[in-house]
A and B are shown apart, each in its own frame.
Chain A
């Protein structure tokens, strides 16, 4: 640790870590896809007020939002094999990566279910009634009226979730998954240049977050292009009102996630 700081190491470490980028991105992508499925399944009982399942999904969401992801990682890592043993599946030879994916998927599922719920609730009821009064079917109402508006409202929150997931993957190394942070640990201990390792790693995370942010900004603008076409000049005003809208729904934001 007492070796001199040498900036050259930062540049030589970056390509080495980038060779593990695909694993990090794989965790993010697979947890999002699985999380979307889980989130939808969990959101439905609460939106349609199904008696018992509603409670179950409430507890699920509360638990995954109320505990640190690090604890969840260890719970899944030690708990899932025990559960699988009950149905005679031996998971001892599985790659730890799958346990990481399972944790992040369960975790995102809880947040995504809240996002889906809030998005649908953000759509004005009067519009749905209006759509039905002009003779649209339930499916048409959903795809033409509810979904476009709900999507536009939730994109910023979804963007936060994706970036949060990206940052959370840095914890997967604690159960031994070999992604970018895991690689940085081995690089650091092999060369004893820890500061350089973590600077390189931070830069990689920063660039990916910024790219994701830009992509979502573009997506949001595309989805909101129908709104206030004549008020484009009043950009600051519009942003402020959005912030207010965002803040007025206290359960929207991500809670203890993505830090």
Chain B
């Protein structure tokens, strides 16, 4: 086997230029996903009439289909909608003006929202009902109960799941290469085909992702330790 070890290092450095795009996809989709997830989860927990059914359908559909499908569906259907809108209502926006990155971000946020919804829901439901009743009994409003009693505890419980979702989105960002966004996977393909050294480049890409994942896990471990101080330092 002729493995060019020197090139693994070169490729590793070459991949760094695509790191910002990967991180941007991850961060944006996780944050937007948290917002979507919070809304859909609360709608389902409080059984808001129409919204809870819609949320349920959304979560079922997204979790039952591959992330690649969401990306391709958005990538091919959104331009049609935008152009139709431009034609009928005279929007100043044309689909060719929208960067591919925007489609990727929208699609990944939708994906992440469904997974976050489950994370938030299981987190909130793990909070003891008696505590919530006690909080109401001392006269807190619903918002106060959520903010002071439910969310802090739910966060502690759902941190491991949250970490997994972040890692999932980090790994999922590799799919963006299918819609020509230059993240690490796309950059790897470019480097590999220009230098004709496929294996080396993918080893470098794997090492980069592995490093990022371990880093995220470490950070999450530290945070977990910190927020569990009140719990005597044990994982909840």
Residues of A bordering B, CB below 8 Å: 1-2, 5, 62-63, 65-72, 74-75, 78-79, 82-83, 85-86, 163, 167-168, 170-171, 181, 194-195, 198-199, 201-202, 205-206, 209-210, 213, 240, 243-244, 246-248, 250-251, 253-259
B158 proximity list for chain A (CB < 8 A): 247
Distance in angstroms between the alpha carbons of A1 and B83 in the assembled complex: 11
Pair B64/A259 contact, Cβ less than 8 Å: no
Instruction: Count A/B pairs, Cβ under 8 Å.
Output: 154
Which one of B67, B170, B199, B209 contacts A82 once the chains associate, using CB atoms below 8 Å?
B199
Interface residues in B, total, Cβ within 8 A: 55
B56 contacts A by Cβ under 8 Å = no
Sampled A-B contacts (13; CB under 8 Å): A75-B202, A78-B198, A79-B203, A171-B66, A195-B73, A202-B65, A206-B61, A209-B64, A244-B157, A247-B123, A248-B235, A256-B213, A257-B171
Pair A198/B64 contact, Cβ less than 8 Å: no
A185 to chain B, nearest CB (A): 9
Q: Mark B60-85, 1 if CB is under 8 A from A, else 0.
A: 11011111110011001101100100
Pair B164/A74 contact, Cβ less than 8 Å: no
B104 contacts A by Cβ under 8 Å = no
Distance in angstroms between the alpha carbons of A66 and B164 in the assembled complex: 10
**Chain B interface, DSSP helix/strand/loop, else mixed:** helix
Closest to A59 in B: B210
A69 proximity list for chain B (CB < 8 A): 171
Residues of B bordering A, CB below 8 Å: 1, 3, 60-61, 63-69, 72-73, 76-77, 79-80, 83, 111, 115, 122-123, 125-126, 157-161, 163-164, 167-175, 185, 188, 198-199, 202-203, 205-206, 209-210, 213-214, 224, 235-236
Pair B198/A74 contact, Cβ less than 8 Å: yes
A246 to chain B, nearest CB (A): 8
A247 proximity list for chain B (CB < 8 A): 122-123, 126, 157-158, 160-161
B171 to chain A, nearest CB (A): 4
Closest 6 CB pairs of A and B: A250-B160, A68-B171, A66-B213, A256-B171, A209-B64, A167-B66
Given A201-B69, A253-B160, the answer on whether A78 and B202 have CB atoms closer than 8 Å is: yes
A199 to chain B, nearest CB (A): 7
